[in-house]
């Protein structure tokens, strides 16, 4: 098994071509979204943060050719992958627009539905993006998002925090807390919607778990390395990283021995707002 400490995320075409495991994570949120949006004919739809094409292409195929769906994402390599799939699936009702959702290239009141699966935690300027959504939506148009919530992997973060204490870096714990609170709560995401002018029409909270044999398996899992490791590394000085992460791996392994595995909980939210 590769050593996770020497892993470096490189945003290259080759990396993205092996990225198809990612929808396994996205799919739990995607099902929550797909089960709760209303399908109708003749819709204009936007998927914000469409990444490698999920749920963009699934929605396009479920809606069929009377609707048009646009994927907005600034991530060049992910968009390339989404375009390959559009070609491969022979879809004519989808278009990828490579840019940030902070400025949507649509006229006022021209869109019926905006969705975003796991986008909101990644948007730096959430308020601006929601304002843009409000501008382009028709009256009664809907914005429907799914996201993981604060409390995500709380079992892991609790071990991470005690590891920082043990390593005599208690002053770095605040960095870890800052990373955790980037994930919202149902209350503060709903407030964000309402403050930007949306009326909440539906909200559903749910939860699932991810199990790993132990900390070594967790930290070396390619999706953990690709999706999370560099953001954890960025929280600490370079010189402290080997000590912290070796101790973290050890502590996760001790926990796994005691509990027979590591079971991590993921709280999630479907939130839908309407433009009045």
Ligand X SMILES: C[S@@+](CC[C@H](N)C(=O)[O-])C[C@H]1O[C@@H](n2cnc3c(N)ncnc32)[C@H](O)[C@@H]1O
Total residues at the site for ligand X (CB under 6 A)?
21
Q: Are 115 and 51 in contact (CB under 8 A)?
A: no
The residue whose Cβ lies closest to ligand X is: 49
Cis peptide bond N-terminal to 20, omega within 30 = no
Residue selected from 32, 60, 63, 73 as contacting ligand X according to rule CB under 6 A: 73
Residues in contact with 238: Cβ distance below 8 Å, sequence separation at least 6, in sequence order: none
SS3 51: coil
Considering the rule CB under 6 A, would residue 117 count as an interface residue with ligand X?
A: yes
Question: Strand runs (DSSP E) across the chain, as ranges?
Answer: 44-48, 68-72, 94-97, 111-117, 137-148, 198-212, 262-275
CB of 119 to ligand X, least distance (A): 5
Considering the rule CB under 6 A, would residue 101 count as an interface residue with ligand X?
A: yes
Residue selected from 63, 72, 159, 210 as contacting ligand X according to rule CB under 6 A: 72
SS3 138: strand
Q: Which is nearer to ligand X, 55 or 273 (CB)?
A: 55
Considering the rule CB under 6 A, would residue 77 count as an interface residue with ligand X?
A: no
Q: Which is nearer to ligand X, 129 or 252 (CB)?
A: 129
Considering the rule CB under 6 A, would residue 75 count as an interface residue with ligand X?
A: yes
* Segment near ligand X (CB under 6 A); pick from 5-13, 74-82, 90-98, 208-216: 74-82
Report how far residue 129's alpha carbon sits from residue 72's, in angstroms, rounded to the nearest whole number. 12
Report how far residue 212's alpha carbon sits from residue 263's, in angstroms, rounded to the nearest whole number. 7
Considering the rule CB under 6 A, would residue 78 count as an interface residue with ligand X?
A: yes
Report how far residue 250's alpha carbon sits from residue 48's, in angstroms, rounded to the nearest whole number. 39
The residue to which tokens 């309402």 are assigned = 194
Considering the rule CB under 6 A, would residue 132 count as an interface residue with ligand X?
A: no
Considering the rule CB under 6 A, would residue 118 count as an interface residue with ligand X?
A: yes
Residue selected from 119, 141, 184, 215 as contacting ligand X according to rule CB under 6 A: 119
Site for ligand X in 28-67 (CB under 6 A): 48-51, 54
Q: Which is nearer to ligand X, 183 or 247 (CB)?
A: 183
CB of 227 to ligand X, least distance (A): 8
Cis peptide bond N-terminal to 224, omega within 30 = no
* Segment near ligand X (CB under 6 A); pick from 71-79, 137-145, 203-211, 217-225: 71-79
Instruction: Kindly list the strands in the beta sheet with 94-97, ordered across the sheet, starting from the edge strand earlier in the chain.
Output: 94-97, 68-72, 44-48, 111-117, 137-148, 262-275, 198-212
Considering the rule CB under 6 A, would residue 26 count as an interface residue with ligand X?
A: yes
CB of 185 to ligand X, least distance (A): 18
Half-sphere exposure of 83 (CA within 13 A, CB side): 13
Binding site for ligand X (CB under 6 A): 22-23, 26, 48-51, 54, 72-75, 78, 100-102, 117-119, 122-123
């Amino acid at each position: 098994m590769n050593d996770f400490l020497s892993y470096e995320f490189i945003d290259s075409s080759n990396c993205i071509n092996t990225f198809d495991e990612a929808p396994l994570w996205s799919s739990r949120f995607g099902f929550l979204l797909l089960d709760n949006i209303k399908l109708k004919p003749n819709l204009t739809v936007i998927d914000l943060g469409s990444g490698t094409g999920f749920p963009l292409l699934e929605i396009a195929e479920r809606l069929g050719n009377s609707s048009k769906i646009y994927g907005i994402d600034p991530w060049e390599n992910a968009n390339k992958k989404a375009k390959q799939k559009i070609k491969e699936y022979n879809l004519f009702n989808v278009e990828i627009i490579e840019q940030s959702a902070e400025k949507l290239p649509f006229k006022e009141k021209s869109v019926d539905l905006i969705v975003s699966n796991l986008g909101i935690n990644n948007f730096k300027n959430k308020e601006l993006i929601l304002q843009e959504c409000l501008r382009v939506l028709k009256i009664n148009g809907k914005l429907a998002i799914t996201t993981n919530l604060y409390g995500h992997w709380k079992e892991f973060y609790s071990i991470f925090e005690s590891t920082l204490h043990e390593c005599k870096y208690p002053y770095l714990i605040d960095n870890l807390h800052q990373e955790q609170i980037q994930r919202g709560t149902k209350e503060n995401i709903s407030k964000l919607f309402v403050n930007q002018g949306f009326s909440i029409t539906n909200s559903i909270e749910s939860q699932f778990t991810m199990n790993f044999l132990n900390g070594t398996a967790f930290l070396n899992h390619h999706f953990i390395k690709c999706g999370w490791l560099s953001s954890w590394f960025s929280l600490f000085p370079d010189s402290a990283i080997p000590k912290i992460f070796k101790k973290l791996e050890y502590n996760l392994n001790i926990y796994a021995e005691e509990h027979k595995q590591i079971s991590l909980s993921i709280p999630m939210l479907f939130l839908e707002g309407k433009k009045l």
